[in-house]
């Protein structure tokens, strides 16, 4: 709970709403959440406050995205579409599902 900055009632709701996700992705590997957030933090230069904001909006959905897929999506925005990192950061903070 401390690592993902989530309260016990929210965690309980996640377990009840998404048992398969929680069992196979979240609880199966301690590194899944940390590494996903590290990708976002590294690629977009996010602050700790930014990460907490994404977690509060996007858990558990963000765990569905493999880290390699996150990197690919970010690179498409950066290289193929020419968005500056700061603009991608704003879009992700506004709606982490993008």
What pLDDT, on the 0 to 100 scale, is given for residue 81? 93
More confident residue, 22 or 43: 43
Which stretch of DSSP H or E encloses residue 39? Answer: helix 31-44
pTM higher than 0.85 for the full model? Answer: no
CA distance 88 to 27: 29
CA distance 76 to 11: 33
CA distance 19 to 45: 32
Mean pLDDT of the chain: 77
Query: Where does the pLDDT of residue 11 fall: very low under 50, low under 70, confident under 90, or very high at 90 and above?
Result: confident
Chain segment 41-88, per-residue pLDDT in tens:
888 888 888 888 887 877 767 666 777 778 888 889 999 999 999 999
């Amino acid at each position: 709970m401390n690592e993902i900055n989530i309260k016990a009632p929210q965690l309980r709701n996640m377990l009840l709403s998404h048992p398969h996700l929680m069992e196979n992705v979240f609880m199966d590997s301690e590194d899944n959440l940390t590494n996903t957030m590290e990708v976002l933090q590294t690629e977009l230069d996010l602050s700790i406050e930014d990460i907490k904001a994404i977690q509060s909006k996007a858990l558990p959905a963000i765990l569905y995205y493999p880290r390699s897929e996150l990197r690919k999506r970010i690179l498409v925005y950066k290289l193929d579409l020419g968005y500056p990192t700061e603009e991608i950061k704003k879009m992700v903070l506004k709606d982490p599902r993008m």
